[in-house]
Amino acid sequence: MVRKLFASIREYKKPGLMAPLYVIIESILEILIPTLMALLIDNGIAKSNMNEVLRVGIVLVVFSLFALFFGVRAGTNAAVAASGFARNLRKDMFYNVQTFSFSNIDKFSTSSIITRLTTDVTNVQMAYQMVIRLAVRSPFMIIFAMIFSFRIDSSMSMIFLGAIPVLGIGLWFIMSSVHPIFAKVFGYYDLLNSAVEENLHGMRVVKSYNREKFEEKKFTGISQLIFQGFTRAGKRLSFVAPLMQICLYTSMLLLSWFGAKEIIASGNNAAIGLSTGELASMITYAMQILMSLMMLSMVVVMITISRASIERIAALLSENSDLTNPENPVCEVPDGSVVFDHVTFSYSRTADKPVLDDVSVAIAAGQVVGIIGGTGSSKSSFVQLIPRLYDVISGSVRVGGVDVRDYEVDVLRNQVAMVLQKNVLFSGTIKENLRWGNENATDDEMRHAAQLAQADEFISGFPDGYDTYIEQGGSNVSGGQRQRLCIARALLKNPKVLILDDSTSAVDMATDSKIREAMRTHIPGTTKIIIAQRVASVQDADMIIVLDDGRISAVGTHEQLLESSSIYCEVYHSQTKGSILHE
pLDDT band at 475 (very low <50, low <70, confident <90, very high): confident
Residue by residue, DSSP assigns 319-349 as ---S----SS-B-------EEEEEEEE-SST
103: nearest Cα among 335, 375, 355, 455: 355
CA 528-532-536 angle, 5° bins: 95
Task: Give the neighbor-by-neighbor strand order of the sheet with 356-363.
Answer: 356-363, 338-345, 394-399, 402-403
What SS3 string covers 251-279?
A: HHHHHHHHHHHHHHHHCCCCCCCCCHHHH
DSSP 8-state assignment for residue 471: P
Cα 381–Cα 385–Cα 389 angle in degrees, nearest 5:
95
The residues near 542 (Cβ < 8 Å, ≥ 6 apart) are 367, 368, 369, 557
Residue 246 has pLDDT above 60, yes or no: yes
Q: What's the rounded Cα separation, in Å, for the pair 475 and 491?
A: 22
Residue 250: pLDDT band with limits 50, 70, 90: confident
Phi-psi region of 498 (alpha: psi -120 to 50; beta: other; left: phi over 0): beta
Mean pLDDT of 28-39: 82
Per residue in 531-570, pLDDT (tens digit) is 998 898 999 999 999 999 999 999 999 999 999 999 999 9
Pairing of strands 394-399, 338-345: antiparallel
The model carries a pTM of 0.73
Q: Is the pLDDT score of 422 beyond 70? A: yes
Could you tell me which residues are beta bridge partners of residue 398? 339, 403
pLDDT, tens only, 160-183: 777 778 877 887 888 788 878 877
Per-residue model confidence (pLDDT) at position 6? 80
Across the chain, mean pLDDT equals 86
Please determine, looking at this structure, whether the domain spanning 338-422+497-582 carries the CATH number 3.30.465.10.
no
**Strand pairing partners for 372?**
546
37 or 86, greater pLDDT: 86
At residue 505, φ and ψ (nearest 5 deg) are -65, -25
Which residues, in sequence order, are CB contacts of 94 under 8 Å at separation 6+? 117
Over the range 319-349, which residues count as b (16 or more CB within 10 Å of their CB) and which as e?
beeebeeeeebbeebebbbbbbeebebbeee
Decide if pLDDT at 40 tops 80: no
Largest CA distance in the chain: 119
Cβ atoms 495, 518 nearer than 8 A: no
Residues in contact with 417: Cβ distance below 8 Å, sequence separation at least 6, in sequence order: 437, 490, 491, 493, 495, 497, 498, 499
Instruction: Phi first, then psi: give them for residue 462, nearest 5 degrees.
Output: -75, 145
* Residue 338 scores a pLDDT above 90: yes
- Residues contacting 494, CB < 8 A, separation 6+: 438
Asked whether 85 and 12 are in contact (CB, 8 A), the reply is yes
Better-scored residue on pLDDT, 531 or 281: 531
Cα–Cα dist 42/36, whole Å: 10
Please compute the mean of the pLDDT values over residues 62-66 and round it to a whole number.
90
Candidates 30, 128, 133, 31; CA nearest to 73 is: 133
Tens of pLDDT, residue by residue over 367-419, are 999 999 988 899 999 999 999 999 999 999 999 999 999 999 999 999 999 99
Phi and psi for 481 in degrees, rounded to 5?
A: -65, -40
CA distances from 505 to 12, 71, 321, 500, 513 (A): 52, 65, 32, 10, 12
Euclidean distance between CA atoms 336 and 329, whole angstroms: 18
Residue of higher predicted confidence among 51 and 365: 365
- Inform me whether the pLDDT recorded for 305 exceeds 80: no
> Using CA of residue 380, residue 384, residue 389, residue 390, what is the dihedral sign?
positive
What confidence tier does 583 reach under pLDDT thresholds 50, 70, 90? Answer: very low
pLDDT for 463 equals: 94
> What pLDDT, on the 0 to 100 scale, is given for residue 1?
64
| b (16+ CB within 10 A) / e for 418-453 | bbbeebebeeeebbbbbbbbbeebeeebbbbbbbbb
What is the average pLDDT across 76-82?
94
Domain locations along the chain: 2-318, 338-422+497-582
Greater model confidence, 501 or 48: 501
Please name the amino acid found at residue 579: S
Give the number of other Cβ atoms within 10 Å of residue 512's Cβ. Answer: 22
Three-class SS state of 316: helix
Length of the chain counted residue by residue: 583
**pLDDT at residue 581 in the model:** 39
Q: What is the mean pLDDT of residues 332-344?
A: 96
Tens digits of per-residue pLDDT, 432-467?
Answer: 999 999 999 999 999 999 999 999 999 999 999 999
Tell me, letter by letter, the H, E, C secondary structure of 532-566.
CCCHHHCCCCCEEEEEECCEEEEEECHHHHHHHCH
In this predicted structure, what is the pLDDT of residue 368? 95
The vertex-219 CA angle with 215 and 223, nearest 5°, equals 170
Please report which confidence band the pLDDT of residue 529 belongs to, taking 50, 70 and 90 as the band edges.
Answer: very high
- Is residue 102 within 8 Å of residue 321, measured between CB atoms? no
How far apart CA 496 and CA 529 sit, in angstroms, is 11
What pLDDT shows up at residue 268? 56
Confidence of residue 358 (pLDDT cuts 50, 70, 90): very high
Contact 108, 131 (CB under 8 A): no
- Asked if 124 contacts 186 with a C-beta cutoff of 8 angstroms, the reply is no
**Where does 2-318 sit in CATH, by number?**
1.20.1560.10
User: Hey, what long-range contacts does 299-302 have (CB within 8 A, 24 or more apart)?
Assistant: 299/127, 299/130, 299/131, 299/134, 299/135, 299/138, 300/171, 300/175, 301/175, 301/178, 301/237, 301/240, 302/123, 302/126, 302/127, 302/130
Closest Cα partner for 426 from 471, 465, 456, 466?
471
Q: Is the pLDDT of residue 5 over 80?
A: yes
User: Per residue in 91-116, pLDDT tens?
Assistant: 999 999 988 887 888 788 777 888 88
Round to whole Å and give the CA distance between 488 and 498: 11
